[in-house]
Structure 1
Amino acid sequence: MANYIFKETQRITQWWLWLLLFGVLTVVLWPLLSQESIDPSQLSSIGIGVVVVLLAMGILYTLRLQTRIGNGRLQYRYLPFIWRWRTYHWSDIQSIELKTFNSLKEYGGWGIRTNFEYWLYNVRGNQGLLVRTKDKSFKLGTQKPQEAARIIQEFDAFKFRNHGG
C-alpha cells in the first residue's frame, strides 16, 4: 500500500451564516444601543439573549469535521461533539464510495444527521464518502472529492489484494 494520506478539516465559513448571527446579536442588543436609559427588568432578558447568541456563535466557531484516511485506516471526529477519533481499519470496511447528496432534502440540514439509513457528518456541500462496515454505514462530507477518489482507489486495491476482489 502506498503511504498516501487524505487529510481534511472542514469548518463553518459561510459568510451569510455569520452575517445572520451578527444580525441577531444586534437585534438582541438593540435596546441597549438605542436608549440612553434602560428599564432594569429588560437587562435579564437582554443578558440571556446575548449569552444564547454568543454560545451559538462559539459552538459554530469551534465546529469542525476532521477526516484522515491512509495507512490502512479511516478516522474522523466532529468537534466539539465527537472528541475522540473514531477509527475503522480498512480490513473492517466493506466499501467506500464517493457520493453526491442533498443534505437539506435527504437529511434535513447539515451537521450530525441521520435519515435512518445512514448517519451523515457534514459541514457544507453535497459530496461525501459513503462508508459501509459490517455493523454500520455512514457518510463523511468532503470538499476534496478528487483526493477522496484517489484514496478510494487505494482502498479498492487493498481489498482486491487481500480478499481476491
Structure 2
Amino acid sequence: MKVYIREVQKAPWYFFVPIILVTGLIWYGFIQQIVFAIPFGTNPASDTEIWILLVVFGILFPIFFLSIQLTTEVREDGIYVRFSPFVSRFLPYKDIKQVEACTYNPLSYGGWGIRWSPKKGWAYNMRGNKGVLIELKNGKHLLIGSEKPEELVRHIKIIKTR
C-alpha cells in the first residue's frame, strides 16, 4: 500500500543522558570486577549478579530505549501510528470527522509518550508541543505529536477526500 507521508520521531538527546550514565556505571563495574578482579563498591555484588546487571542494564536496557520511536504514516486507507515497541493503531478515513494541526501543552496529557487524559483522549507524542489533533466520528479525540503537523494534515485531507 502506498505511503504518502511518513514521519519517524525519536526521543531527544537529553532523554538518553541518564541511560548513558546508568549503562556506563554498569560497564565500569563489570570491567572492574570481572575483567580486573577488583570488587566493585564497598558491598560488592557476586560475579553472577554483575553478569545479570550487565545483560539487563548494560545491554538490554539501552537497546530497549534506543528502539522507542513514534512512526506516523498517511496511506491510502488511513493513518497508521506506531509507538514502537509498544502499540500500533490504525485510523481508517471513514472513522475520521476532522483533523487539524495544533500546538498543545504536553503536560496537560501527562507528558510525552503514550498518554491518556479523561478530558482530551489519547496522545502519542515523543517531543515538542506540535501535533495533529484528530476528532473521530464517535466523538473521541486522538493527538499525534509531529514535527511537521501542517504537512501531515494536508496529506490526510487530500487523501481523505478522494
Question: When the two structures are superposed, what TM-score results if normalisation uses the length of structure 1?
Answer: 0.74
Q: Is the Cα–Cα contact under 8 Å of residues 102 and 149 in structure 2 kept in the other structure?
A: no
Alignment of 1:13-162 (within 5 A): 14-33=12-31, 36-38=37-39, 42-43=45-46, 44-50=48-54, 51-52=56-57, 54-83=59-88, 86-103=89-106, 105-116=107-118, 117-135=120-138, 136-154=140-158, 158=161
Paired residue type of 1:38: P
> Mind listing any 5+ residue stretches in structure 2 that lack a counterpart?
none
DSSP 3-state at the match of 1:5? strand
Give the Cα–Cα distance (whole angstroms) in 2 for the partners of residues 32 and 49 of structure 1: 8
Give the Cα–Cα distance (whole angstroms) in 1 for the partners of residues 38 and 77 of structure 2: 64
- Aligned-pair distance for 1:138? 1.0
Q: Is the Cα–Cα contact under 8 Å of residues 126 and 145 in structure 2 kept in the other structure?
A: yes
> Mind listing any 5+ residue stretches in structure 1 that lack a counterpart?
none
Give the Cα–Cα distance (whole angstroms) in 2 for the partners of residues 154 and 112 of structure 1: 27
- Aligned-pair distance for 1:153? 4.5
Q: Is the Cα–Cα contact under 8 Å of residues 11 and 65 in structure 1 kept in the other structure?
A: yes
- Aligned-pair distance for 1:94? 0.8
DSSP 3-state at the match of 2:45? helix
- Aligned-pair distance for 1:107? 2.2
Give the Cα–Cα distance (whole angstroms) in 1 for the partners of residues 30 and 6 of structure 2: 45
- Aligned-pair distance for 1:56? 2.9
1:7 to 2:6 alignment: yes
Aligned length: 152
Question: When the two structures are superposed, what TM-score results if normalisation uses the length of structure 2?
Answer: 0.75
Percent identity between matched residues is 29
Q: Deviations over 1:53-82 (max 9, x none)?
A: 533322221112111124252221221112
Which segments of structure 1 move beyond 4 Å, counting only runs of 4 or more?
32-36
Report the CA distance shift for 1:5/1:33 in structure 2 as closer, same or farther (over 3 A).
same
- Aligned-pair distance for 1:29? 3.9
Give the Cα–Cα distance (whole angstroms) in 1 for the partners of residues 94 and 114 of structure 2: 25
Q: Which moved more, 1:36-45 or 1:54-63?
A: 36-45
Give the Cα–Cα distance (whole angstroms) in 1 for the partners of residues 60 and 95 of structure 2: 38
Q: Give the RMSD, CA atoms, in angstroms.
A: 2.9
